[in-house]
Amino acid sequence: MIEALLKKHVDDYKAVSVEAYIAARKKHFSHLDEDFSSLKGFDTILTLALSFPKGKPTYKGKGYGMVSRYSHGRDYHLVYQDKLKAIEACLSESGINSKGASDISPIDERFAAYLSGLGYIGYNQFLIHPEFGTHLYLATILIDRPFEINPYPYDTCGECTRCIDACPTDALSKEGFIKERCLSFKTQEKKPYDLDVLRDFKTYVFGCDICQDVCPKNKNINPVQREVFESDENSQLHLESILELSNKQFKRQFGHYAFAWRGGLVIKRNAIALLFNQGMDESLPMVEKTYKDYQHVPWFEETVRRILEAWRR
């Protein structure tokens, strides 16, 4: 019954016992001193995958900013929300208590997925699935029942180091990941940035796909073509148009995309950094206006002031 239900709603799934998850966390992440109380009363973590299509529109060039592929189409949090609710309701009818989440649960989703045999964790830090490569969103559902399912055979990166070599900010290495260096992290944080950080903002206005695009494991993949995750006109943003929007207008226009979750001002900051780095001098008056409009926000003021000082020099 559980398998039929999962098959109906997601593209793939595996399972790991709560006991095995906690034991592995304690073994490999003892320094984190994690609280596992939210797992109490549950026997199994079901790990779920929803794949998203490969391919994206060709970059339009100067004046535009690309949005990371995972953020094209409808926000996967919203898509998962509906699916998880439906799964939980059906499980409940069969007397199974469950709790689903995507992104916001205390469970490390990639680690749980790896333990359950849904794929392996590559040097680019992704859970790499045999059929979908890195093109998948993860979620988990806790259930109060033992449940077993055969894992996929374990894969590895072998001798490949393409993502490590291609990362523009040296965030990756065989030893691990320095998240503060990652463009995905930098384009989401709300804090004052120096010019040397801002110089990294070149073509992506949100996120970064470079370490996935170069990965050979993504070459012959077969993700499900789901309309809801197709790229659309907002997969690349016209940078000046973003600056023209009030935060309310931004929310109305982009609120159903995953890239909107940090709010409009983060995207405006990123757009300004891109316009500066792309040498879009005709945009300077618009940037100056945006600076004035939001100079009451300290992290934004400090960052954009540094850009303007350098731009006017």
Return residues touching ligand B12 (CB under 6 A).
Answer: 28-29, 68, 70, 102-103, 105, 108-111, 114, 121, 124-127, 134, 136-138, 176-177, 179, 182, 184-185, 188, 207-209, 211
Q: How far is the CB of 162 from ligand B12 (least distance, A)?
A: 13
Q: Is 112 in the site for ligand SF4 (CB under 6 A)?
A: no
**Considering beta carbons, is residue 2 or 171 the nearer one to ligand SF4?**
171
Taking CB within 5 to 8 Å according to partner kind, which of ligand B12, ligand SF4, none is near residue 176? ligand B12
Closest CA to 213 of 126, 109, 102: 126
Is residue 192 classed exposed, middle or buried when 0-12, 13-18 and 19+ CB atoms within 10 A define those classes?
A: middle
Q: How far is the CB of 18 from ligand SF4 (least distance, A)?
A: 28
Q: Is 55 in the site for ligand SF4 (CB under 6 A)?
A: no
Residue type, 164: I
Q: What's the distance, CA 181 to chain centroid?
A: 15
Taking CB within 5 to 8 Å according to partner kind, which of ligand B12, ligand SF4, none is near residue 273? none
Closest CA to 15 of 52, 51, 43, 50: 43
Tell me whether residue 165 is one of the annotated catalytic residues. no
**Considering beta carbons, is residue 55 or 298 the nearer one to ligand SF4?**
55
**Considering beta carbons, is residue 114 or 201 the nearer one to ligand B12?**
114
Q: Which of 98, 105, 116, 124 binds ligand SF4 (CB under 6 A)?
A: 124
Q: What is the DSSP letter of 154?
A: P
**Considering beta carbons, is residue 92 or 156 the nearer one to ligand B12?**
156
Taking CB within 5 to 8 Å according to partner kind, which of ligand B12, ligand SF4, none is near residue 165? none
**Considering beta carbons, is residue 136 or 242 the nearer one to ligand B12?**
136
Site for ligand SF4 in 196-255 (CB under 6 A): 208, 210-211, 214-217
- Give whole-number Cα distances, 200 to 170, 205, 266, in Å: 11, 11, 15
Closest CA to 119 of 197, 49, 207: 49
Q: Which of 82, 103, 155, 281 is catalytic?
A: 103
Q: What's the distance, CA 284 to chain centroid?
A: 31
CA dihedral 155, 157, 159, 164 (to 10 degrees): 180
- The token pair at 300 is 């934004």
Q: Is 25 in the site for ligand SF4 (CB under 6 A)?
A: no
**Considering beta carbons, is residue 149 or 164 the nearer one to ligand SF4?**
164
Number of residues that bind ligand SF4 (CB under 6 A): 22
List, as own/partner pairs, every contact residues 85-93 make where C-beta atoms lie below 8 angstroms and the sequence separation is at least 24, other chains included. 86/9, 87/5, 87/6, 87/9, 87/141, 88/141, 90/5, 91/2, 91/5, 91/141, 91/143
Q: Is 176 in the site for ligand SF4 (CB under 6 A)?
A: no
Q: What is the DSSP letter of 133?
A: B
Closest CA to 206 of 29, 75, 30, 306: 75
Q: Which stretch binds ligand SF4 (CB under 6 A): 51-59, 142-150, 177-185, 302-310?
A: 177-185
Active site residues: 103
Point out which residues bind ligand SF4 (CB under 6 A). 122-124, 157, 160-163, 167, 169, 171-172, 182-184, 208, 210-211, 214-217
